[in-house]
A and B are shown apart, each in its own frame.
Chain A
């Protein structure tokens, strides 16, 4: 079982719709969760971080965390073509004396006009 799992997609949504991205993780003791957006050939950029169960909203983005189910999701409202990118779910794991970011494989999102 991979430590962080995501559906690779592509997830295709029309402009203005809600895009729903999902992620599961295997380590129950994980406490910090992140969503990154990565455009082709670029480094990841942080979209949202979430640490507590429930929802966290920031503009058009809402992250949801359910630790009992080991599940993290990202909702993008009013999707725009500029949101087309790969979305990486990441979990922080303490290992070897360091807090390391472990990434999922990413979900490709395509927002079409």
Chain B
């Protein structure tokens, strides 16, 4: 099946720094990528949708200047958490959509800890 590779799997950074998370589709072209965040014992919350060649669309309440999303090519989408703060510590997951009635393909997730 389709594979989405997400890196890094874990990252610890200092407050005020920026962190980039990459998601690559390995054996297919992903024109769209969804980015989720998940707090402990909570559900996946959709943050934004990236689309190759155009600006990302953000869900209500998500700061687009804080969470920069770039879909540079048909196989790479990135999420940059800018000026990270401890409250940004979370599990971030990317997902490429399947067709209407098929599964989505998830990356492995990134555990971000801001200290």
Contacts and interface: CB of A to CB of B under 8 A. Distances in A.
A2 B45 CA distance: 12
Contacts of B108: 42-43
Interface stretch (A14-22, A70-78, A93-101): A93-101
Interface in A31-60: 31-32, 34, 41-46, 49, 51
Contact of A32 (B49, B95, B101, B107): B101
A42 B103 contact: no
B104 A96 contact: no
A92 interface: yes
Contact of B93 (A34, A43, A49, A96): A43
Q: How large is the interface on B (under 10, 10 to 19, 20 to 34, 35 or more residues)?
A: 20 to 34
Contact of A49 (B49, B103, B106): B103
CB-based closest 4 A-B pairs: A43-B106, A105-B43, A46-B103, A103-B44
Interface of B: 32, 34, 41-46, 49, 57, 91, 93, 95, 97, 100-104, 106-109, 111
Given A101-B34, A101-B97, 6 more contacts: A8-B41, A46-B104, A49-B101, A51-B101, A100-B46, A101-B46
25 contacts: A31-B100, A31-B101, A41-B91, A41-B111, A42-B109, A43-B93, A43-B108, A43-B109, A44-B44, A44-B106, A45-B106, A46-B103, A49-B101, A49-B102, A88-B43, A92-B100, A96-B49, A98-B57, A98-B97, A100-B46, A100-B49, A101-B34, A101-B95, A104-B43, A105-B42
Interface of A: 8, 31-32, 34, 41-46, 49, 51, 88, 92, 96, 98-106, 108
